[in-house]
Structure 1
């Protein structure tokens, strides 16, 4: 990065004409003037893209040093491409400028930033003392590229993220009786998971310092693996993993439809310079991927929000239509999460987010819907296999909202009949005034949000979404954001981590029967019983059943079925062929070294498995029925 720093009596500019990479600006930004200022002409260079944050940090050190020496707190940031012949991409330059602008402002400086990508006229009066004209060159060390490479097309950090980092909030424990208790006065003896969650929230240590157990499990079970040919946080799904993921997707779609949501589909990329979207990017706490085309800078969506909002803007709505629900299963949403936080299925850069938005007439209706969706999320997770005992509840809001709605907030703790974590903000940092999350606490004591609902009080006006009220006037609705399950991948992570925790407690790890890639495995005792095993398939229709016809010992086959967490295992030989009954090992009732075995007919077994999966989606086996015909995944 090249800097030219001039201490001046005044600096003023006026916008003349936009270029092809110009940022959108409002009328107030078309001209500016600042007195007694340090003007910083800035050129971001190609080499800076290896680590924009580090370059910006060093530039800030130099700017603050000079500002201190010339005794000024007024800073003008002026993008000036003429300082270098090796310029960075426009998005990288904007990213650096916004970091510098936000950091200087947060440190007490008065900052004026001239618009990027515009031809401008400017005038300044240089003071003429020894420190009034200085030039600086900021360079990364030679090894920087091998240490921290910024993905191509990285977009600037949203204001919401920097606001979140600066956010000061207060944490309390809210009991089912409605009592608000300061954490240091609460007895956590019977609530160790809640204590871990509180620690995670207050210490804000998000990075993972060792590999969590579910990563080994997702690989060993041949579900999911890393993909070196892609960006970090983008995974490959093997047939079994794709089956589980597809069933979860199908189930959440089914839940949303039963709740009355209209399924829609929206694009996965949007114009970064669209004025409404630009403002929303700054209000959403996530980093984005960017794509440069010949005419536009686009970003990959991080949720279905803006697609559904743009659609809602074009609807003709009456108060009779409300509450109105829209749903999309976004495969995929993209967020440029920090590398140190990426691990397994817990936190990804590409993920599947079930995203439902509800347009509500007013805050009263929004709170009624919020409470109903709170219960919808509980039912959804329960069916997936995660009960109230498996997650902790966080309710977050402005202090003003809490004071005005104490009884409503207390009802959320009563509904789960256990204490919840309450976070109160002194001011509203985001577009919502209230949200809840169901948070799973894993083996590393890290918390991960699953289901969530937010009450959005900004975006209806931002996107000019209106409905006609009873008196004929146009009004902006209140919007609920709801993900009934949270990211599909994170549900898989939670199920695997929970299975590991069960194993640590001496129990057998399992997946719910409806999600198990193989629900029943038949093991012939010899080659001459393979045909009999295969003949049973017609009597077990609707069940995902496979046959281990490999040339291995029965003992090894039984052990491997256990390693794969198969819910039901049948060993068939001459006795079974003659009697017509199967000896079934039921995993959910078994203990280590103590298998639970029951005798039943194929029809009885089929009916039992079907009852366990009643009302839940089903899919056929994802690989060959015969294990001898299946590939192995490294």
Structure 2
């Protein structure tokens, strides 16, 4: 916002003709003496919270000369980057209201009109001043109407300092890479995981029609990531009516789903907890709004409850939230990459406690590993591989180039739900030796027909009616 403030001995203006189609103010005219006039250009990006500062500058200039009359005059010629008309006039009205609360007599010239005017300026040294007022960068924490920077809120222990921590330790980063979630993007496996989660959340919320847009979020972790993600949600959330949307960020896999309704905390928690039981116990809730809690300067009112996962490395990662943006009720889920990474990180927490972590069978990129003990078992193993693949299971074959133990451990580190080992006994009896990840430490031997029927049952329990193209090797 740019303001030219002038002490005027007298001022006269009158509306001549419309400058924009359907101007928001009716035509008017004014004559006054001994005033301070504020010629104001409201710029793109200006927000209503600048009104108080602008009014204070005008009031201070009027008080210098012990004047009670202030004219608020829309003046587009101070800037080449103007706000859209509705936003501009609302900010000018807010400046008018602020000045009236301070006890000034205020006249606001009509917005959207070409005006004729005449002024007389006394010409003393303090007669003319200019000011540029910009939106504070934020983010802020608002408590009891007091707005302070987040880092100050953390220093004063009124906001969780975990937001400053790197969320992932080296073990978590390594585990995420096995699922295709890379520090510089995602690979084909990671893309499968991200797309599967999006499809699953659509399924859980009965979403069919989804539009895809580009978002403004360039970061997803820490204070900057939280601010950037919220801004993307506000940018698009104000327009969500009947159709859900997906916002794509700069970082691969950072899609955010926005649904056109407000869920409640228990339903949101149930969705996340269904992916990995217990993870919701390691989350916290943060309020974010234009009036209280975590706040980013924005030009509309919003009120959101955010759900964040507290990582193994004691950092906070946004999983989603729900609330209101302007008059719209929304639920947002994501960034989806955060959810995938948090599931893996929480699995490592389980492993630290001696429990075997696992993803849902339908979400696991590789569902079955077929491992022959020796070269002499390869033909039998490949027959099994082909049958399992024909069922629609994402299966891979690990030939006997390395020791059996090494190959079994590799499958375990990739959280493969079912490891099928075949050797002499299995080949002779038409069976498979199975290690099921959800049955920690146990092994069982099944006839091939039993094995195939169990896989068909597991596939039928998938939330999807069609198989998703698998990353088969």
1:162-177 counterparts in 2 under 5 A?
166=142, 168=144
Report the TM-score, using the length of structure 1 for normalisation: 0.51
Q: Distance in 2 between matches of 1:553 and 1:106?
A: 77
The CA RMSD measured in Å over matched residues stands at 5.8
Partner of 1:512: 360
Match of 1:210 in 2: 166
Q: How does 1:86-165 map to 2 (within 5 A)?
A: 88-90=80-82, 119-135=114-130
Superposed CA deviations along residues 443-473 of structure 1, whole A, max 9, x for unmatched, are 435363546466x9x84xxxxxxxxxxxxxx
Alignment of 1:326-475 (within 5 A): 328-332=243-247, 350-353=255-258, 355-357=259-261, 376-377=267-268, 379-387=270-278, 389-390=280-281, 430=301, 439-443=308-312, 444-446=314-316, 448=318, 450=320, 452=322, 459=327
| Corresponding residue number in structure 2 for 1:492 | 340
Contact 2:318 2:335 in 1 (8 A): no
What SS is found at the alignment partner of 1:513? Answer: coil
- 1:72 and 1:445 mapped to 2: Cα distance? 54
200 and 13 in structure 1: CA distance in 2 versus 1, 3 angstrom threshold: farther
Structure having the higher Rg:
2
Q: 1:575 to 1:390 in 2, by over 3 A?
A: same
Distance 1:392 1:571 in 2: 38
> How much has 1:10 moved relative to structure 2?
6.8
Mind listing any 5+ residue stretches in structure 2 that lack a counterpart?
146-153, 215-228, 295-299
Paired with 2:196 and 2:309, the residues of 1 have a C-alpha distance of: 21
Q: Distance in 2 between matches of 1:226 and 1:486?
A: 17
Q: CA 1:344–1:215 in 2, change beyond 3 Å: closer, same or farther?
A: farther
Query: Are the aligned partners of 2:371 and 2:400 in contact in 1 as well (CA < 8 Å)?
Result: no
CA displacement 1:260-302 (0-9 Å, x = unmatched): x7x4456859xxxxxxxxxxxxxxx95469xxxxxxxxxx962
Query: Shift of the alpha carbon at 1:536?
Result: 0.7
Task: State the Cα distance separating 1:513 from its structure 2 match.
Answer: 1.9
Moved more, 201-210 or 523-532: 201-210
Distance 2:132 2:423 in 1: 79
Q: CA deviation at 1:211?
A: 4.6
Contact (CA 8 Å) 2:3, 2:38: kept in 1 or not?
no
Matched, 1:303 2:242: no
* TM superposition shift of 1:131: 0.6
For the structure 1 residues 625 and 118, does the alpha-carbon distance in structure 2 shift closer, same or farther, using more than 3 Å as the test?
Answer: same
2:181 touches 2:341 (CA, 8 Å); kept in 1?
no
What corresponds to 1:471 in structure 2?
none
The answer to whether the aligner puts 1:220 opposite 2:148 as a matched pair is no
Match of 2:222 in 1: none
Distance 2:200 2:112 in 1: 47
TM-superposed deviation, 1:305: 4.9
Report the CA distance shift for 1:137/1:509 in structure 2 as closer, same or farther (over 3 A): same
Compute the displacement of 1:244 (Å).
Answer: 2.3
Paired with 1:17 and 1:542, the residues of 2 have a C-alpha distance of: 71
Structure 1 pair 80–490 and aligned structure 2 pair: CA distance change class (3 A): same
Q: Which residue of 1 aligns with 2:38?
A: 39
Partner of 2:421: 571
Question: Could you tell me the TM-score, scaled by structure 2's length?
Answer: 0.65
Report the equivalent of 1:598: 444
Q: Structure 1 CA distance, aligned partners of 2:350 and 2:167?
A: 18
| CA shift for structure 1 position 203 | 1.5
Q: Whole-Å Cα distance in 2 between the matches of residues 603 and 106 of structure 1?
A: 79
Distance in 2, matches of 1:391 and 1:519, equals 27
Number of matched pairs:
431
Deviation (angstroms), 1:550 = 8.0
Q: Distance in 1 between matches of 2:260 and 2:329?
A: 8
Give per-residue Cα distances to partners, 1:497-551, cap 9 Å, x unaligned. Answer: 3224324445444322221111111123345544332211354323221112484
Structure 1 partner of 2:5: 5
Per-residue deviation at 1:564? Answer: 1.8
SS in 2 for 1:562: helix
For 1:100 and 1:240, the matched residues in 2 are separated by 52
The question of whether the paired residues in 2 share the 8 Å contact of 1:520 and 1:543 is answered with: yes
Contact 1:18 1:119 in 2 (8 A): yes
**Deviation readout 1:585-627 (Å, 9 max, x if unpaired):** 333344xxxx54333334444454555562522664645532x
Displacement, 1:133? 1.5
CA distance, structure 2, for counterparts of residue 439 and residue 219 of structure 1: 18
CA contact (8 A) 1:267 1:307 kept: no
